[in-house]
């Protein structure tokens, strides 16, 4: 039978399946194991061939998959085993010679699992986590009445840095969509109360609010734009009901900027006048010009902001920021003095904030306050984990204390809510240590279960076209991560702080399809950035490129076939602990990249075989 790959997976000539291998063009057999040779893992290539023609294209440039496909699976499955090819749903039985032969799906992918495992969910493990990272404000608006909380306003232009209306209620309404991706954890932007006003964004081209959760004002209150405390409880309960854990983004390095709104409320003497309330830039001005027009940076009342004991800042009476990672001021943000062991009073601003839940605690340091405020969310709501922002800019001891306090808080919540807990797993933490790769270091001995893997986003652009390069990634990651129970990483292809894979590859749907295959089969944890699965395009950036990566979710305009592919790959991953946590072995094949994953531990035995046609 002849099959044609759909139009949404048309491969440009330069990336045709016939050109996807790493073979030496002067020696077509270089780098391949053929004619009974030895593979990199010592396996034999006997009975490894297939009969499908995968290199031809039709007049439209579509790759044609022709005929049946044979794979030797004897290293993983026994003769007589009944298997399901999960991508197409077809069933096949392993023959006496250890092979299976079937008509391959037009996608060129075979996901082979035992029939008995095809409808079961794997026991959850953070080692096999699929995390969906969502900027809550840009995802789904579930309650329009909170869109302009604290007097926040749209700018009437590109809305680069304003609040767009997404909230916790909207996110809750999309949990079934997220579950269908095979996701078992959601990472949401920090929901704590953010600065009420704006600062100049980029080169002063737009008003920049704290829509992303990195400009905290009060760690003890939920931001009204995100919704109510009941909305948060509903989100976590609804997520848990679907087997999905909830991770908060948290920041211990810095609070938000002081905006004109906060100055007017808590230390108005630093303002030169009140003309700022109706001001818009004119002439050569931009949104940075308010600094010179309205603010006296030499006024002593700056002490009434966070307080000189709390932060480093270039302000009267404050310790100036340093030049090393732990004491520098990132993007001119105030730097929390978490390393200082001297006790402090409650921040002057919080003392005067009527609705704060922060209270004076004797003998507390800055670190103690932050750890308590953050872990209290775990204790009260049952938050399952933290993604820790700007990790390398805070001493490891602070992170270790946060982990210990949060682990205690989650145990307490589970004891108090035995019918609401998912299981008895402990609190989980991953961290952003730019540009960390797949390396175990001291962070893993100081509270971290995982670190974000910055390497894969770059590697993904090339590995999607080469079986040999995929093998290097898969075998390398599995060998490093899955041989050490104290080590894991969280890999991604798109990020709010870097770029969107879809944009970086020129809006290529074929590559977005292929990278889904590669990433969802990675050992270790993986992170989908909202819209990876729908080819979400960049939005306006205002001259600051990362802002464009935070565009609104493209609910009304996406290729359904691409979404379906991500769903199939994600659900397969979610059913099989072996994908993220198992041992990896390549299976030789003449015209495809084939491998197995095997996991056997803690009472769970799981194994799969995966075929990616055309890569070798």
- CA 363, 365, 371, 372 dihedral sign is positive
Q: Which residues share a beta bridge with 544?
A: none
Q: Is it the case that residue 9 has pLDDT exceeding 70?
A: no
Higher pLDDT, 105 or 583: 583
Q: Is it the case that residue 56 has pLDDT exceeding 70?
A: no
Q: Which residues share a beta bridge with 406?
A: none
Higher pLDDT, 12 or 401: 401
- CA 107, 112, 118, 121 dihedral sign is negative
Q: Is it the case that residue 36 has pLDDT exceeding 90?
A: no
| Position 615 confidence tier, pLDDT thresholds 50, 70, 90 | confident
The answer to whether residues 134 and 530 touch, using CB atoms and an 8 Å cutoff, is: yes
Residues 389, 449, 471, 504: which is the catalytic one?
Answer: 389
Residue 12 confidence (pLDDT): 31
Q: Is it the case that residue 53 has pLDDT exceeding 60?
A: no
| Position 116 confidence tier, pLDDT thresholds 50, 70, 90 | confident
CATH topology for 126-575?
TIM Barrel (3.20.20)
Ramachandran area for residue 585 (φ above 0: left; ψ -120 to 50: alpha; else beta) = beta
Residue 571 confidence (pLDDT): 97
Average pLDDT over the chain, rounded to whole?
A: 90
Is 292 annotated in the active site? Answer: no
| Position 295 confidence tier, pLDDT thresholds 50, 70, 90 | very high
The answer to whether residues 173 and 213 touch, using CB atoms and an 8 Å cutoff, is: no
Q: How far is CA 485 from CA 126, 456, 478, 522, in A?
A: 11, 21, 12, 17
162-164-165-166 Cα dihedral, nearest 10 degrees = -110
Q: Count CA within 13 A, CB hemisphere, residue 463.
A: 21
Arithmetic mean of pLDDT, 355-369: 98
Residue 203's Cα: distance from chain center in Å?
A: 28
Is 115 annotated in the active site? Answer: no
Residue 67 confidence (pLDDT): 59
**Per residue in 260-275, pLDDT tens?**
999 999 999 999 999 9
Arithmetic mean of pLDDT, 221-238: 98
Arithmetic mean of pLDDT, 18-29: 30
Q: Is it the case that residue 430 has pLDDT exceeding 60?
A: yes
The answer to whether residues 512 and 10 touch, using CB atoms and an 8 Å cutoff, is: no
Alpha-carbon span 181 to 502, nearest angstrom:
18
Q: Is it the case that residue 101 has pLDDT exceeding 90?
A: yes
Q: Is it the case that residue 17 has pLDDT exceeding 70?
A: no
Alpha-carbon span 6 to 231, nearest angstrom:
42
Residue 18 confidence (pLDDT): 26
Residue 119 confidence (pLDDT): 74
Alpha-carbon span 23 to 258, nearest angstrom:
58
The DSSP letter of residue 79 is: T
Residues 432, 471, 533, 606: which is the catalytic one?
Answer: 432
The answer to whether residues 330 and 434 touch, using CB atoms and an 8 Å cutoff, is: no
Arithmetic mean of pLDDT, 95-124: 89
Q: Which of 358-362, 459-463, 490-494, 527-531 has the lowest mean pLDDT?
A: 459-463
Q: Locate the domains of the chain by residue range.
A: 2-120+582-613, 126-575
Arithmetic mean of pLDDT, 170-181: 98
Alpha-carbon span 221 to 193, nearest angstrom:
5
| Position 120 confidence tier, pLDDT thresholds 50, 70, 90 | confident
Higher pLDDT, 192 or 614: 192
């Amino acid at each position: 039978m002849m099959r044609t790959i759909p139009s949404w997976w048309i491969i440009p000539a330069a990336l045709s399946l016939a050109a996807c291998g790493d073979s030496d063009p002067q020696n077509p057999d270089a780098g391949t194991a053929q004619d009974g040779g030895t593979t990199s893992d010592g396996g034999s290539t006997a009975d490894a061939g297939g009969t499908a023609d995968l290199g031809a294209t039709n007049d439209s440039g579509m790759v044609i998959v022709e005929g049946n496909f044979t794979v030797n699976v004897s290293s993983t499955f026994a003769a007589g085993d009944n298997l399901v090819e999960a991508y197409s749903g077809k069933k096949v039985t392993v023959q006496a010679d250890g092979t299976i032969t079937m008509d391959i799906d037009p996608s060129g992918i075979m996901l082979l699992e035992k029939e008995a495992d095809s409808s079961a969910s794997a026991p959850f493990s953070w080692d096999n986590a699929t995390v969906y990272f969502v900027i809550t404000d840009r995802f789904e608006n579930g309650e329009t009445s909170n869109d302009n909380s604290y007097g926040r306003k749209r700018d009437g232009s590109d809305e680069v840095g304003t609040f767009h209306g997404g909230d916790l209620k909207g996110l809750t309404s999309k949990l079934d969509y997220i579950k269908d991706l095979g996701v078992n954890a959601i990472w949401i932007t920090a929901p704590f109360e953010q600065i009420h006003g704006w600062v100049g964004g980029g080169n002063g081209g737009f008003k920049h609010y704290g829509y992303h959760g990195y400009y905290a004002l009060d760690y003890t209150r939920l931001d009204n734009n995100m919704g109510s405390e009941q909305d948060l409880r509903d989100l976590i309960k609804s997520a848990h009901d679907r087997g999905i854990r909830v991770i908060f983004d948290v920041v211990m390095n810095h609070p938000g900027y002081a905006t004109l709104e906060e100055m007017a409320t808590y230390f108005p003497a630093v303002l030169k006048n009140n003309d700022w309330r109706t001001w818009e830039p004119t002439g050569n001005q931009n949104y940075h010009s308010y600094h010179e027009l309205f603010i006296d940076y030499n006024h002593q009342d700056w002490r009434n902001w966070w307080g000189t004991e709390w932060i480093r800042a270039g302000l009267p009476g404050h310790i100036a920021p340093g030049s090393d990672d732990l004491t520098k001021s990132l993007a001119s943000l105030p730097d929390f003095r978490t390393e200082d062991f001297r006790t402090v009073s409650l921040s002057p601003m919080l003392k005067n904030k009527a609705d704060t839940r922060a209270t004076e605690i004797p003998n507390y340091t800055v670190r103690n306050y932050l750890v308590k405020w953050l872990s209290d969310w775990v204790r009260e709501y049952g938050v399952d984990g933290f993604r820790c922002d700007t990790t390398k800019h805070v001493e490891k001891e602070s992170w270790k204390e946060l982990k210990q306090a949060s682990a205690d808080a989650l145990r307490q919540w589970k004891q108090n809510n035995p019918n609401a807990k998912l299981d008895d797993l402990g609190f989980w933490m991953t961290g952003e240590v730019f540009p960390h790769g797949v390396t175990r270091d001291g962070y893993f001995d100081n509270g971290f279960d995982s670190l974000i893997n910055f390497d894969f986003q770059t590697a993904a652009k090339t590995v999607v076209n080469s079986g040999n390069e995929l093998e290097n990634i898969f075998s390398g990651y599995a060998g490093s991560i899955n041989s050490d129970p104290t080590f894991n990483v969280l890999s991604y292809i798109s990020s709010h702080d870097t770029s969107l894979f879809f944009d970086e590859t020129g809006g290529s749907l074929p590559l977005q399809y292929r990278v889904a295959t590669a990433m969802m089969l990675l050992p270790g944890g993986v992170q989908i950035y909202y819209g990876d699965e729908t080819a979400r395009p960049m939005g306006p950036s205002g001259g600051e490129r990362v802002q464009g990566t935070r565009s609104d979710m493209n609910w009304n305009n996406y290729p359904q076939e691409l979404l379906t592919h991500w769903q199939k790959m994600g659900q397969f991953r979610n059913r099989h602990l072996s994908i993220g946590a198992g041992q990896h072995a390549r299976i030789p094949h003449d015209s495809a990249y084939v491998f197995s994953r095997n996991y056997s531990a803690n009472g769970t035995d799981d194994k799969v075989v995966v075929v990616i046609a055309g890569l070798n």
